[in-house]
Amino acid sequence: MKRNEELVVITKTYDLILWSCNPTSRFPRNHRFVLGERIERNLYELLETLLQESHQIRTPVRVWSSVTEWVGTTCLTV
């Protein structure tokens, strides 16, 4: 895979996130904050996972060490 080449699934997921902002903001109030937030959070988690995996394919050692550093510092401070 070329260095600047991005997987189509990453682009499509990002487009889905941008698209989903408008419909979720029009949910009824009692569903907007629970269901809408859950949908958006899951889409962002999906995008994050796809980005991590695409970087892991390119440079497995560097990404894994940065993830373990992030997990080690963030989880302990939260």
pLDDT of 56: 75
Torsion of CA 59, 6, 73, 78, to 10 degrees: -160
Q: What is the predicted pLDDT for the residue at 13? A: 93
For residue range 23-78, what is the model confidence (pLDDT) as tens digits? Answer: 888 888 888 888 988 999 999 999 999 999 887 766 544 444 555 454 444 443 33
Distant-in-sequence, close-in-space partners of 56: CB < 8 Å, separation ≥ 6: 63, 64
Q: Taking the model in full, what pTM does it have?
A: 0.61
Would you state the pLDDT for residue 58? 64
